[in-house]
A and B are shown apart, each in its own frame.
Chain A
Amino acid sequence: MPGMTSDSGDHSTSVVPISPNPQPTTYPLNHGLKPPIARLSISWARGNTLRVTVLRQPQPSAANGEEEAGGKVLEVKLSDNRDGEIDDAQWRRIAYGSVTPFALLQSRKNSTSTLSKISALDSTEWWQYIMEYSREINSLLGNPKTSPSLAIEDQKTVLKDVQKPTCFKAAWELMEIFYADQHSQAWIPERLLDWLADYDCLFSGTQPTVHSELVNFQKELVTRQAVEDHPKYWEAISSTLAIGWLEIGVKLLRLHGSYDFDQLGSRETENGLVEAVAVLISKMPRLRADLGADKLGECYKNKPDFVKAWEKWQAQITKLDCSAFWLQCEHHQTRDGLKNILQTMLGNSTSLSNATFHWMELYIAHFLYIRPFTAGLESMYNLAQKCMQIKPVSGHHKLIGLLIGILGENPEVVLAECSKSFGSWMMAHAAELLAAGNIQAEMLLQKEQFQLGGICIEELNRLVYAQVLSSHALTWQIAPIYLSSCMKQGMGLLETVLSKQALQHDQVLLKSIEICRLYELGTVSSNLMKITAVHDWKHGKKGSGVFWLQQARDEVRLNRIAKHLFDFVGKSLSDGSFKQWEGLIELLGPESGIAGGLEFLNKYREFRRSLQQVHSGTATDAAQRAAEALISLMKNPSTPQRFWLPILHDSLKLFNWAGRPLLNVSQTNVLLNKLQELSMARLRPDFVNADLPPEALNSVRLAIATNLGRAILEE
Chain B
Amino acid sequence: MALTIPSPQPTSHSPPFQVHRFPQDQYIDALRWLPQLSAFHRHVLLATFNSDTSISSLQTLTYTPNSPPNLSLQSSYPTPSRITSLKTLLIPQSPKPLIVASTLSGSLLFLSADLVNGSLDFEFSVPEKGFHRGPVSGIDVDGNGSGSVVSVGEDGKINLIGIGSEGRGSNQRFFDSNGLVSYSTVKWASPFEFVTGGLGYSLQWWDQRRPGGPVSQFKGNWSSGTTSGIVHSVDIHPSRKHTCLAGGSSGTVFAWDLRWQHQPVILSGAGTPETYSPSESEIWEVQYDNYTHSSNIRNVSSSRVLPAMICSEDGILAVIEQGEVPMELLAEPCAINSFDIDKENPSDVICSLEWESIAILTRS
Interfacial residues, chain A to chain B (CB-CB below 8 A): 75, 77, 88-90, 92-93, 96, 99-100, 103-104, 107, 472-474, 477-478, 481, 505-506, 510-511, 514-515, 517-518, 536, 539-544, 547, 550-551, 579-584, 586-587, 589-591, 593
Closest 6 CB pairs of A and B: A89-B25, A583-B181, A96-B355, A584-B180, A547-B199, A477-B1
Asked if residues A582 and B213 are in contact (CB atoms below 8 Å), the reply is yes
B180's partner among A75, A543, A589 (CB-CB below 8 A) is: A543
Asked if residues A587 and B1 are in contact (CB atoms below 8 Å), the reply is no
Taking CB as reference atom, which chain B residue is nearest A544?
Answer: B182
Chain A binder among B2-10, B36-44, B118-126 = B2-10
A260 to B54, CA, bound (A): 61
Asked if residues A542 and B179 are in contact (CB atoms below 8 Å), the reply is yes
CB of B333 within 8 A of chain A?
A: yes
Known: A77-B52, A583-B181. 13 other contacts (CB 8 A): A103-B333, A510-B230, A510-B249, A511-B335, A541-B155, A542-B178, A543-B182, A544-B199, A583-B177, A586-B217, A587-B199, A587-B202, A589-B200
Q: Assuming the A-B contacts A88-B52, A540-B179, are A590 and B199 also in contact, with contact meaning beta carbons closer than 8 angstroms in the complex?
A: no
Asked if residues B180 and A506 are in contact (CB atoms below 8 Å), the reply is no
A107 to B155, CA, bound (A): 45
> Can you give 21 contacting A-B residue pairs, CB < 8 Å?
A77-B54, A88-B52, A92-B25, A93-B23, A104-B5, A472-B51, A473-B51, A514-B2, A514-B314, A515-B1, A541-B155, A541-B156, A542-B180, A543-B179, A583-B204, A583-B214, A584-B177, A584-B181, A586-B200, A587-B199, A589-B200
B221's partner among A511, A539, A582, A590 (CB-CB below 8 A) is: A590
Taking CB as reference atom, which chain A residue is nearest B153?
Answer: A541
Interface positions, chain B 169-209, Cβ under 8 Å from A, are 177-182, 184, 199-200, 202, 204
Q: Assuming the A-B contacts A88-B52, A539-B134, A579-B213, are A587 and B181 also in contact, with contact meaning beta carbons closer than 8 angstroms in the complex?
A: yes
Asked if residues B180 and A580 are in contact (CB atoms below 8 Å), the reply is yes
Which chain A positions have C-beta within 8 A of B154? 506, 536, 541, 544
Interfacial residues, chain B to chain A (CB-CB below 8 A): 1-3, 5-6, 23, 25-27, 51-52, 54, 104, 133-135, 154-156, 177-182, 184, 199-200, 202, 204, 212-214, 217, 219, 221, 225, 227-228, 230, 249, 281-282, 313-314, 333-335, 354-356
Q: Assuming the A-B contacts A89-B26, A514-B281, A544-B199, are A551 and B228 also in contact, with contact meaning beta carbons closer than 8 angstroms in the complex?
A: yes
Asked if residues B221 and A589 are in contact (CB atoms below 8 Å), the reply is yes
Which chain B positions have C-beta within 8 A of A75? 54
Taking CB as reference atom, which chain B residue is nearest A49?
Answer: B54
Asked if residues B54 and A580 are in contact (CB atoms below 8 Å), the reply is no
A581 to B1, CA, bound (A): 36
A582 to B228, CA, bound (A): 19
Asked if residues B51 and A511 are in contact (CB atoms below 8 Å), the reply is no
Taking CB as reference atom, which chain A residue is nearest B26?
Answer: A89
Q: Assuming the A-B contacts A104-B6, A473-B51, are A583 and B282 also in contact, with contact meaning beta carbons closer than 8 angstroms in the complex?
A: no
Which chain A positions have C-beta within 8 A of B219? 586-587, 589
A248 to B86, CA, bound (A): 55
Distance (Å) between the CB of B202 and the closest chain A CB?
A: 6
Distance (Å) between the CB of B174 and the closest chain A CB?
A: 14
A510 to B184, CA, bound (A): 13
Taking CB as reference atom, which chain B residue is nearest A591?
Answer: B225
Distance (Å) between the CB of B73 and the closest chain A CB?
A: 14
Distance (Å) between the CB of A177 and the closest chain B CB?
A: 27
Distance (Å) between the CB of A689 and the closest chain B CB?
A: 26
Distance (Å) between the CB of B210 and the closest chain A CB?
A: 14
A77 to B54, CA, bound (A): 9
Which chain B positions have C-beta within 8 A of A586? 181, 200, 202, 217, 219
Which chain A positions have C-beta within 8 A of B214? 583
Distance (Å) between the CB of B100 and the closest chain A CB?
A: 20
Q: Assuming the A-B contacts A587-B219, A589-B221, A591-B221, are A514 and B228 also in contact, with contact meaning beta carbons closer than 8 angstroms in the complex?
A: no
Which chain A positions have C-beta within 8 A of B134? 539, 541
Taking CB as reference atom, which chain A residue is nearest B178?
Answer: A580
Which chain B positions have C-beta within 8 A of A481? 3
Asked if residues B156 and A543 are in contact (CB atoms below 8 Å), the reply is yes
A466 to B306, CA, bound (A): 44
Which chain B positions have C-beta within 8 A of A536? 154
A589's partner among B25, B135, B155, B228 (CB-CB below 8 A) is: B228
Taking CB as reference atom, which chain A residue is nearest B281?
Answer: A514
Asked if residues A517 and B6 are in contact (CB atoms below 8 Å), the reply is no
Asked if residues A511 and B155 are in contact (CB atoms below 8 Å), the reply is no
Asked if residues B25 and A93 are in contact (CB atoms below 8 Å), the reply is yes
Asked if residues B1 and A511 are in contact (CB atoms below 8 Å), the reply is yes
A536 to B154, CA, bound (A): 9
A505 to B155, CA, bound (A): 13
A96's partner among B155, B313, B356 (CB-CB below 8 A) is: B356
Which chain B positions have C-beta within 8 A of A515? 1
Asked if residues A593 and B225 are in contact (CB atoms below 8 Å), the reply is yes
Asked if residues A543 and B181 are in contact (CB atoms below 8 Å), the reply is yes
Asked if residues B181 and A89 are in contact (CB atoms below 8 Å), the reply is no
Interface hub of B134, B182, B202, B314 (most chain A Cβ within 10 A)? B182
A88 to B50, CA, bound (A): 11
Distance (Å) between the CB of A248 and the closest chain B CB?
A: 30
B1's partner among A107, A506, A514, A583 (CB-CB below 8 A) is: A514
Distance (Å) between the CB of B133 and the closest chain A CB?
A: 7
Asked if residues A550 and B356 are in contact (CB atoms below 8 Å), the reply is no
A581 to B177, CA, bound (A): 8
Taking CB as reference atom, which chain B residue is nearest A66?
Answer: B129
Which chain B positions have C-beta within 8 A of A100? 3, 5-6, 333
Which chain B positions have C-beta within 8 A of A107? 5
A662 to B299, CA, bound (A): 58
Distance (Å) between the CB of A379 and the closest chain B CB?
A: 42
Distance (Å) between the CB of B321 and the closest chain A CB?
A: 25
Which chain B positions have C-beta within 8 A of A583? 156, 177, 180-181, 204, 214, 217
Asked if residues A92 and B180 are in contact (CB atoms below 8 Å), the reply is no
Distance (Å) between the CB of A585 and the closest chain B CB?
A: 9
Taking CB as reference atom, which chain A residue is nearest B334?
Answer: A96
Which chain A positions have C-beta within 8 A of B155? 540-541
A410 to B217, CA, bound (A): 70
Interface hub of A89, A517, A579 (most chain B Cβ within 10 A)? A89
Asked if residues B227 and A551 are in contact (CB atoms below 8 Å), the reply is yes
Distance (Å) between the CB of A458 and the closest chain B CB?
A: 20
Which chain A positions have C-beta within 8 A of B26? 89
Interface hub of B2, B104, B179, B204 (most chain A Cβ within 10 A)? B179
A474 to B180, CA, bound (A): 32
Taking CB as reference atom, which chain B residue is nearest A577?
Answer: B178
Taking CB as reference atom, which chain B residue is nearest A478?
Answer: B1
Distance (Å) between the CB of A517 and the closest chain B CB?
A: 7
Which chain B positions have C-beta within 8 A of A93? 23, 25, 355-356
A477 to B51, CA, bound (A): 15
Taking CB as reference atom, which chain B residue is nearest A552?
Answer: B227
Asked if residues B54 and A543 are in contact (CB atoms below 8 Å), the reply is no
Distance (Å) between the CB of A713 and the closest chain B CB?
A: 45
Which chain B positions have C-beta within 8 A of A104? 5-6
